[in-house]
Every structure is written in C-alpha cells, then in structure tokens.
C-alpha cells in the first residue's frame, strides 16, 4: 500500500506541479515513502535559500506547517515561498508539500500563497471488516496504540476552530452524525477528508470511522479542554463585536430620547427589564441603587440578545434604518458568536469574518442621531 500511495502521489505531482499531501496522525506511516518521492527534500527555510535546482526535479518540502506560525515568530513566508516555487516550476520542477495540517488551518494571506496553488492528494483508507477495530480504517493505526491518545492527537492537528465545528455537529446538533456532515462547509469537509476522518461516498461524504465516533467525541473534548491559546484574530473579532453592540445601544438610546425625552428610560424598558437592570447595576457599579433613573444608561446592562428583542418588541422604535430582514439575520448570526466569546468558548471557522462583515454593514447603515 505504501509504495502504491507514493507512486500515485508522484504521478499527481508531475501532472499538477504542486500537491499538498497529508502526513498527520492518520497517515504518519506514509511520511518516509512520501519524502522519498523527491529528488530533493528540504525545509521551507532551505528551499528559500537554495540558489538553483536541477530542472525537472521533484521537490518535497517537509515542514509546510511552519506557515501556521503566529506573526510574533517572525515575518510571514508565504509570499517569498510562492515566488520561489513559481521560479522552480518555470524550470519544470514539481513540488510536493507534506503537511500534518489541512489547508483550512493555515492563515489567510493577502494575495495568494503556495497553498492556494496546490491540489490535495488523498491517500486511501484501509478496507475494514465489521469485526475490525473502529480505527482500523486509518492507515497509521495499530492495535498497540492508545485509541484516545491517537484520536486526541489527530483532532488537535485540525486547529481549534474546526474542532469547535465538530463539537457543534457531534455534541450540540440534534441530527444524526451522518446527516450532520451536510451542515459542514466544503472547506471543512475537505479538511476532514484530508485528515482521514471523512471519505467520499457518491456525491457526498461519510465518516471513515463510524464505529469509533465515541472515541472521536472524546478526542474533541480533550482537545477543546486543553485549548489555552485564543484564535489569532480573536482580538479583532472582539473589537468588531464591541462596536456592533455599542452602535446598536447608541441608536436605541437616541431613538428613545427622541420619542420620550427625559422619560426614555422608563418608557423604553418594561417592569421586568427595569428590575433586572437595577439588580445587575447594583451588584456591580451602583451600590444600594433602587431607582432606574439613577443609572446613567440602563441599556449597558442588557445583553445583545436583549437589545435586539427590545427593538423588536417596541414598535415605536422602528427599524432604525436597517431593514427588518437584516435585524433577523443579525440575531441569528451574531448572537451565537457573542455567546461563544462571552463564555470563553472557541470560535468556529467563519465566525470572525462574519463579525467583520456585520461591523462594516452597521457602520454604514446605523447612525445614532440625537
């Protein structure tokens, strides 16, 4: 099997010129044979420093994971690596990128990177019998390994945002795991295929380890429990969320003042909301407070979900310049992300991009006017 996989990888590299091949936990047994496919084996740093390579060479880059490093570790290498690779391809070379990580884990870069040019190579899973161990479909699995340690390491290579998506579809979804696959985006499904967890089935995908989904869930739980570093762009996402909430509060307040003048606080909030605001404010910033009027801005003590419900319930407030359909989408898309972040849970792929989009939209369309 190993020789066959190496031959197929080599043929694909010659045909397509740049190929990304998995050597993570599920396919770690293929690493040496994949390395030997090349006429030249080198690290990212070495390929950048090479003067020239023989024409028509097969070049295997063995540490492409280096591109996942945070900016604090030094300048990004995607641009120089892509430029160097294009010069190599002009000389007829083909490039094999060996990666423990699926491409979804690598950060987006301005312009294009070599990973954008690469096509994925997918080794075959083992054929299994009903009596086989649940992990036997994964080529690197051997029975003397600890199954939970093996799966935890495999899951950790996906990156925490994708692990959070698996958490959502396997723990939180009401759908059967096979049906929940359809809720994943195409890049997410491709990433799980690259990692060995999914396999094609006609026009869709199915789990490659259906008898070991319990172990997969335990691995996800382990991985998320030990995720102690925030996503790279979480700070930017939090800034967007802060601006979104502040802008909505400012617009609600301005409209309420315009409608009810000095009585806006009592007129905007119902009795239950007034009591809740007084209680929360008294616990944190207004010791002994018993009147709503004493609190500078009661809207600051409401959550985003409560603010959106307040706007919807108070018909006099209107749409504040944002069509009703957008308010519904805002509630559906932003509130869950806000709850994820407020509970210090892991954001999912696309969450922070979505916050940036809503921040830009509201900045353009919601204008607080006194």
In the prediction, which pLDDT does 100 show?
96
Mean pLDDT score across all residues of the chain: 90
**One domain, residues 252 and 330:** yes
Residue 75, both tokens:
């300048």
End-to-end CA distance of the chain, in Å? 72
104 lies in the same domain as 30: yes
Domain final residue pick, 105, 120, 135: 120
Query: Domain check: are 358 and 248 in the same one?
Result: yes
Question: Are both 213 and 241 inside the same structural domain?
Answer: no
Is residue 215 located within the same domain as residue 279? no
Is the residue at 125 inside a domain? no
CA distances from 97 to 104, 347, 364 (A): 15, 28, 43
Please indicate, yes or no, if residue 140 is contained in any of the structural domains. no
> Is-contact 358 243, C-beta < 8 A?
no
Within this chain, do residues 254 and 316 fall inside the same structural domain, yes or no? yes
Domain end marker among 77, 102, 120: 120
Q: Is residue 361 part of a domain?
A: yes
Q: Domain check: are 250 and 335 in the same one? A: yes
Residue 169 resides in a domain: yes
**Closest of 34, 91, 32, 83 to residue 57, by C-alpha:** 91
Establish if 131 belongs to a structural domain: no
Exposed e or buried b per residue across 278-308, where buried means at least 16 C-beta atoms within 10 angstroms of its C-beta: bebbeeeebeebeebeebeebbbbbebebbb
Asked, for residue 89, whether it belongs to a domain, the answer is: yes
Write down the pLDDT at residue 1.
Answer: 45
Q: What is the 3-state secondary structure (H, E, C) of the chain?
A: CHHHHHHHHHHHHHHHCEEEEECCHHHHHHHHHHHCCCCEEECHHHHHHCCCCCCCCEEEECCHHHHHCCHHHCCCCHHHHHHHHHHHHHCCCEEEEEECCCHHHCCCCCCCCHHHHCEECCCCCCCCCCCCCCCCCCCCCCCCCCHHHHHHHHHHCCCHHHHHHHHHHHHHCCCCHHHHHHHCCHHHHHHHHHCCCEEEECCEEEECCHHHHHHHHHHHHHHHHCCCCCCCCHHHHHHHHHHHHHHHHHHHHHHHHHHHHHHHHHHHCCHHHHHHHHHHHHHHCCCCCCCHHHCCCHHHHCCHHHHHHHHHHCHHHCCCCCCHHHHHHHHHHHHHHHHHHHCCCCCCCCHHHHHHHHHHHHHHHCCCCC
Among 225, 258, 288, identify where a domain stops: 225
Euclidean distance between CA atoms 94 and 59, whole angstroms:
6
Q: In angstroms, rounded to a whole number, what is the distance separating the alpha carbons of residues 194 and 101? A: 8
Is 284 inside a domain boundary? Answer: yes
Q: Is residue 138, in this structure, part of any structural domain at all?
A: no
Query: Are residue 103 and residue 151 in the same domain, yes or no?
Result: no
d(CA 61, CA 64): 7
pLDDT at 113 (0 to 100): 81
Q: What is the mean pLDDT of each run of 10 residues along the chain (370 residues)?
A: 80 94 97 94 89 86 82 64 89 94 85 86 88 89 95 95 93 92 94 96 92 96 91 87 96 95 94 92 90 93 94 93 94 94 85 93 85
- Based on the domain organization, do 48 and 170 belong to the same domain? no
Q: Give buried/exposed letters for 33-72 (b at 16+ CB in 10 A, else e).
A: bbeebbebbbebeebeeeeebeeebbbbbbebbebeeeee
Domain of 189, in residue numbers: 147-225
- Tell me: do 272 and 177 sit in the same domain: no
Structural domains in the chain (count): 3
Residues 250 and 200 in one domain: no
> From CA 102, how far away is CA 99, in angstroms rounded?
7
Same domain, residue pair 55 and 72: yes
């Amino acid at each position: 099997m190993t020789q066959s996989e190496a031959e197929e990888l080599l043929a694909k590299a010659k045909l397509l010129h740049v190929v990304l091949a998995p050597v993570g936990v599920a396919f770690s047994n293929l690493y040496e044979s994949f390395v030997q496919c090349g006429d030249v084996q080198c690290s990212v740093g070495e390929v950048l420093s090479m003067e020239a390579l023989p024409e028509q060479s097969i070049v295997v880059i063995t540490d492409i994971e280096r591109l996942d490093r945070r900016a604090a570790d030094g300048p990004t290498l995607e641009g120089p690596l892509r430029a160097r690779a294009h010069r190599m391809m002009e000389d007829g070379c083909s490039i094999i990128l060996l990666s423990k990580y699926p491409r979804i884990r690598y950060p987006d870069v301005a312009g294009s990177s070599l990973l954008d040019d690469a096509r994925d190579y997918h080794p075959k899973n083992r054929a299994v019998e009903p009596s086989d161990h649940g992990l036997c479909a994964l080529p690197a699995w051997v029975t003397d390994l600890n199954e939970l340690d093996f799966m935890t390491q495999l899951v950790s290579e996906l990156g925490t945002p994708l692990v959070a998506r698996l958490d959502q579809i396997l723990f939180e979804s009401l759908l059967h795991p096979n049906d929940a696959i359809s809720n994943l985006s195409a890049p997410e499904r491709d990433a799980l295929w690259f990692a060995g967890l999914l396999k094609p089935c006609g026009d869709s995908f199915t789990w490659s380890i259906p008898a070991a989904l319990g172990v997969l869930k335990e691995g996800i739980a382990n991985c998320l429990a030990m995720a102690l570093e925030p996503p790279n762009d979480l700070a930017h996402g939090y800034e967007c969320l802060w601006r979104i909430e502040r802008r909505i509060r400012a617009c609600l307040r301005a409209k309420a003042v315009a409608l009810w003048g000095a009585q806006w606080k009592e007129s905007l909030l119902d009795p239950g909301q007034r009591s809740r605001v007084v209680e929360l404010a008294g616990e944190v910033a207004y010791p002994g407070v018993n009147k709503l009027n004493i609190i500078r801005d009661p809207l600051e003590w409401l959550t985003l979900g409560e603010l959106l419900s307040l706007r919807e319930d108070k018909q006099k407030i209107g749409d504040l310049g944002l069509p009703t359909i957008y308010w519904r989408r805002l509630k559906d898309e932003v509130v869950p992300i806000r709850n994820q972040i407020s509970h210090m849970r892991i954001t999912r792929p696309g969450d922070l991009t979505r916050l940036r989009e809503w921040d830009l939209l509201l900045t353009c369309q919601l204008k607080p006017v006194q």
